[in-house]
Structure 1
Amino acid sequence: MPAANYPTPKTFAYPQTTVERAERSLICSPFNPALLAAMQQKSISLGAIAQNNGIKNNYSKRFLSELACDNALDWLIQVGVLRREVDGQGITDSYRLTPLGQKLAEKYQNQTWPNPSFSDRLQNAIARWLRLPF
């Protein structure tokens, strides 16, 4: 049987505003770049990110309850950085990076995120507050 010859996969082209919103959401999030680095390799469960595990694994900047962690991760899903892992039974409690998330993880590989400005925090808060529920 001849080997299949597939063209190289294309990278997604995102509008600059999408990339900026996703990056702003990341730097305003309670998570560390180590979380994205780990998600480049495998999916990470909510239990590994929430509560004391998040601090121990260097995934979060502070203690997060499971609900707060889930809400922060859901926001990163909505801006296109993360996606929920799916198995044969349905949606799991694990998360993976999207192609946009991979792009941002590569950008901040072995770096810390910049401190968000007041403007960054305000724009992120307004975007979260005004988001449509669909």
Structure 2
Amino acid sequence: MLLRVVPTVALLALWVWAFIDCLTTPEDEIRHLPKVVWVIIVLLFPLVGSIAWLVAGKDRARARGRRAPWPSGPTAGFPEYERPRQLAPDDDPEFLASLKRGNQQHEEMLKKWEADLRRREEDLRRERPEDGDGSGA
């Protein structure tokens, strides 16, 4: 019984792997046929289509050319660590400077509003006579 299960599982694994590889491969790395045709071939003919995809479908030399030939160092094999790191907002000098500029602009606007309010209050005081003149209205 084990001799019947192992080939079936191997065929299923090969078919799933070839199908996913075919779907995720960029168009410029596919050879001979359009991507849609390769997907249909792999789906309709699991064994033959999967082997054909592995042999003739993907341009493996171009796919390998994007990566370093032999990664080394503490981050070898982890391309997400090889990209430049983004700074957190509180570590980014440009972001902090923009916050400071924004705060300064708000402070200046607040000072202008306060000065305008004082000026209006003074204008109102000049227009109205003082209530403390003893007329007793």
The structure richer in helix per residue is: 2
The structure richer in strand per residue is: 1
TM (norm. structure 1) is 0.21
TM (norm. structure 2) is 0.20
**Relative contact order, CA 8 A, sep 6+: which one is greater?**
1
